[in-house]
Structure 1
């Protein structure tokens, strides 16, 4: 019953998206509103995430994701934290490297219109509202690629560690990788078929990590100020 409900919910959501495109002709002009991939406004959003860590293969790193509701000083968000250990698991000669933790959104199911993907083709940037500890995190994007293990990655650069900030990355700046290594030929992200987005810590530096994420969305603006200016201009034109 739950799976059937999810199928119809996704189908209705896709129908609404296609209807907006048809009515507003969104594909013919640059969208000014952000397109949220995921917003962590309630604890149920934890069910949409998949946690990955070497402890699942016998390693000694630890990781957890917890939800935190909105307060007077912070937006609602998830907190991804734990500790990295490069110690190899005993009696596992097949494992030569350890020391990673990551999470991503879970794979989508199907709809009446076929497989569900995020279509961010009209947008130039991926944006995240985060509070980072300054460690070497990477943003990971997976698409409906010919090579299922391909991941497009970009470093998550924090300008103000310990404070909330919006990190914006051009989709064209992501690098195609396979098992963490850049591969050739490089190819652009299939922006009309995004399967998942997430954050990983793969620098293999032992110690604690802690990063909070409030929302992830596609946008056509390099900064919050640019988006606010565009909204103000549209309001003045009405």
Structure 2
């Protein structure tokens, strides 16, 4: 009787230890954002050059045709509003970015961002904002990291961008600095596009744009 009790206790301890190890190990993937509902998309702010006197427009809404997706769409324009108090050297840009920075994302266990999207032939830019422990959050110069996001036109696919592909930028220009992204302190995500972004085979220039999104995940690559 005592022997059976001891054996059962040892087996229970082993199972509990195995469960604790699984709890300590992060999952292979983590859903960061979904876009299916009004509540989902309310976590994002939409912006455009209209704030500075441009005429581009953009919205982010749940899709009427796909209950699992949201639609980031609008019009890119290179025209300027003559009545605007501010003047731009260049217009034709718009984007969406997470609205609140109350919760930091810890992406250190992961090496890739994955996007379930349907594109329109344009190239988009994925952005990460970080809280830098060395320079401090007020030094925005080193807190923006960007990588290209391109999906085939009118076709759902999962686009994977390794986190080491994100480069430090300042006002759209890549910085030539030896600076490492602080993956443990991601303070925000963004997606944007402009009239100029993209290789020759991509859609560029003024006109309508449309990007459908189901989710954004952080994943560990199989390699």
* TM bucket, shorter chain: 0.7 to 0.9
Runs of 4+, deviation exceeding 6 Å: 20-23
CA deviation vs aligned residue, 1:94-121 (integer Å, no higher than 9, x gap) = 4211110000112222xxxxxx200010
CA deviation vs aligned residue, 1:184-211 (integer Å, no higher than 9, x gap) = 2042321111111121002442111011
Match of 1:173 among 159, 165, 179: 165
The answer as to whether partners of 2:76 and 2:194 remain within 8 angstroms in 1 is no
Residue equivalent to 2:40:
45
1:25 to 2:12 alignment:
no
Residue 156 of structure 1 aligns to a residue whose secondary structure is strand
Residue equivalent to 2:127:
140
TM-score, structure 2 as length reference: 0.77
Q: CA separation in 2, counterparts of 1:163 and 1:75?
A: 17
Q: CA separation in 2, counterparts of 1:118 and 1:221?
A: 18
Q: CA separation in 1, counterparts of 2:53 and 2:214?
A: 31
Residue 100 of structure 2 aligns to a residue whose secondary structure is coil
Structure ranking higher in helix proportion? 1
* Structure 1, unaligned runs of 5 or more: 1-19, 110-115, 227-238
CA deviation vs aligned residue, 1:136-176 (integer Å, no higher than 9, x gap) = 21111111133225311111122x32011000000001111
The answer as to whether partners of 2:54 and 2:88 remain within 8 angstroms in 1 is no
Residue equivalent to 2:100:
107
Label 1:55 to 1:123 Cα distance change in 2 as closer, same or farther (>3 A): same
Q: CA separation in 2, counterparts of 1:215 and 1:128?
A: 6
Figure out how many residues of one structure are paired with residues of the other and give that number.
190
Structure exhibiting the larger radius of gyration computed from Cα positions: 2
Q: CA separation in 2, counterparts of 1:51 and 1:22?
A: 41
Q: CA separation in 1, counterparts of 2:217 and 2:67?
A: 15
CA RMSD of aligned residues (A): 2.3
Residue 39 of structure 2 aligns to a residue whose secondary structure is helix
The answer as to whether partners of 1:172 and 1:188 remain within 8 angstroms in 2 is no
TM-score, structure 1 as length reference: 0.73
The answer as to whether partners of 2:60 and 2:71 remain within 8 angstroms in 1 is yes
1:127 to 2:119 alignment:
no
